Structure 1
Amino acid sequence: MNFEGLKKEEIRVELEDSKYMVIRTELCDAGTGTEEEAAERIRRRSFNRKFRLPVRVDMDGITARYEDGVLTVTVPRLFRQPQIDCTGLHQTCKPLAPAA
């Protein structure tokens, strides 16, 4: 996401109920000028978006990076090895490779 002109401290990435990721901007300083100019700066810099996360997500592995006005959030998925019931078979069973 392009947040050019914002400071790193003005961007918040939060997790909500382990189901949603919320990205919002918080204006740290309205700056100088008239009330109308300050209100316009706040309006242009205001952002609040909620994203539903996939079911299997590595919550501890989520990272966010803000560089050159671009916010990059990485949400890694969890992959489980499928279990195979080998009861009664005379051969060695190995788990299948995870689907890509």
Structure 2
Amino acid sequence: MKPKMLGRNLSDPHHAADRACAGLNTEVFFPDTITEAAEAVEICVQCPLLTRCAEWAARAGVTDGVFASVWVPGLGASTQDKNTARARLALVAATGLPYVEPSQEVA
């Protein structure tokens, strides 16, 4: 089965065999809080498809979960929090670098 295409032939990276999350329990990527998202973020940081995943998530308008090292808050989140997550996905897509919370940066 071919992966679904989105936008400019941007296929859903969740069907790619070389993704870091392949074979893992998907529940890890749908945490209730940003604190619970740490495990998924660590997996994403190591993923060779980080940029592709960020591009896909931004275009697909994901509403909750961890994508490309960015926690996207769920339905109860404020508009500001959702817009912040979208901006972070755009940053990851543009730079190819994982998003790291400022409190997690290494000096």
Tell me if both proteins adopt one fold, taking TM over 0.5 as the criterion. no
Higher share in helix: 2
More strand by share: 1
Tell me which interval the TM-score lies in, with the shorter structure as reference length: under 0.3
TM-score (norm 1): 0.26
TM-score normalised by L of structure 2? 0.25
